Amino acid sequence: MHLTRTLPALTLSPNTPPEAFVTVDPRKVDLPAIDWITLGLLAATYVMWGLGTAVLAEVWMPLGIVVTGLAIAQFCSVQHEVLHDHPFRSRIANEAVVFPALALTVPYRRFRATHLAHHHDPNLTDPYDDPESNYMDPAVWARLPKIWRGVLRVNNTLLGRMVVGPVVGNILWCRAEARLIVAGRRDVAFDWALNLLGLLPVVAWLVWTGFPVWAYLIAAWVGHGVLKIRTFLEHRAHETARARTVIIEDRGPLALLFLNNNLHAVHHMHPQVPWHRLPAVYASNRDHYLRRNEGYRYGSYADVFRRYLFRAKDSVSHPVWPVRKD
């Protein structure tokens, strides 16, 4: 029997007004119960991670670190697909295939919970209600010590986000998670306990291969830093929720590494559509998507690097405050 699952329709009318697409189109298409493309990519990611730690590190340690870091970034991208119900229909099966904690500090279940909350588009960029916002309440920003504001200003350039962003982001993330655990959130504590279990196969592999802990920490920093390229300007401060999410028309290696999430406005409109279908969905109605997000578009990641490597896209203090939720 051919098992299928239902996903949003991929055929949209270019004449349909943007207001009609605030939520996912209710029409259905069938997809195989197992997304073999995503599953195959996950297998290739594990192979790449194994080669980086066990083979390439023996050839030249810097090469092993870089390849391992890229594998960690790719693994996080696949985890993003998994939390959106690929490659399986079963949540348990999906969690099982990404159980090893390759990224070290981001429990999969916490990633899933916070990211799905992030997908409530009216809250996008709100520093209180959007778990992935990089903005701050202007009042909070004004009270920060000068040295911390300086760090965050550096972090607000693309180069800074890649270099210091993994450290800043992990400090803020782990502090917030610790506060939830101290406040009695047993679900959060449980998810972190699972992450500790997920570290066991990672540590066992590193011991068996002789890959140094210090080298793996650098690789994790590389992986987190590469991911910061994707998240740097995924969302902007804007009065209209549908205009807050970017389109980057890149088809190069970074688009593959990020699993086409550079077409981020399309992903937010159709979060259940698998990554390998997003380019076709976008191409079929390009004008519609750009009209919907009011032209928040870049031609490529090279364009993003040229503009923002050494300068901020906007301020850390939220420039459109308070955030409109309508």
Checking if the pLDDT of 293 tops 80, the result is yes
Provide the domain limits for residue 110: 4-8+32-232
Asked if the structure places residue 278 within a domain, the reply is no
Work out the average pLDDT over 171-197. Answer: 98
Between 13-27, 142-156, 271-285, the lowest mean confidence (pLDDT) is in: 13-27
Checking if the pLDDT of 16 tops 50, the result is no
Asked if the structure places residue 312 within a domain, the reply is no
Query: What pLDDT does residue 30 have?
Result: 60
DSSP E strand stretches across 269-321: 297-298
In sequence order, what DSSP letters do the residues of 191-230 get, joined into one string?
HHHHHHHHHHHHHHHHHHHT--HHHHHHHHHHHHHHHHHH
Checking if the pLDDT of 4 tops 50, the result is no
Q: Which residue has the tokens 């504001």?
A: 149
Asked if the structure places residue 264 within a domain, the reply is no
Checking if the pLDDT of 25 tops 70, the result is no
Asked if the structure places residue 46 within a domain, the reply is yes
Asked if the structure places residue 172 within a domain, the reply is yes
Asked if the structure places residue 310 within a domain, the reply is no
Greater model confidence, 278 or 20: 278
pLDDT tens column, 79-129: 999 999 999 999 999 999 999 999 999 999 999 999 999 999 999 999 999
| Tokens of residue 103, six digits | 């990224």
The residue count of the chain comes to 326
Decide: 284 and 300 in contact? Cβ < 8 Å: no
Decide: 219 and 68 in contact? Cβ < 8 Å: yes
Query: What pLDDT does residue 10 have?
Result: 34
DSSP assignment, residue 54?
I
- Beta pairing, strands 28-32 & 297-298: unpaired
What are the distances in angstroms from CA 126 to CA 80, 134, 235, 270?
Answer: 21, 9, 11, 21
Asked if the structure places residue 20 within a domain, the reply is no
When divided into structural domains, the chain yields a total of: 1
Query: What pLDDT does residue 292 have?
Result: 97
Three-state DSSP state, 170:
helix
Whole-model pTM: value is 0.91
Rounded Cα gap, residues 84 and 79, in angstroms: 9
| Tokens of residue 190, six digits | 């449980």
In sequence order, what DSSP letters do the residues of 92-133 get, joined into one string?
HHHHHHT-S-TTSS--HHHHHHHHHHHT-GGGTT-TTT-TT-
Asked if the structure places residue 290 within a domain, the reply is no
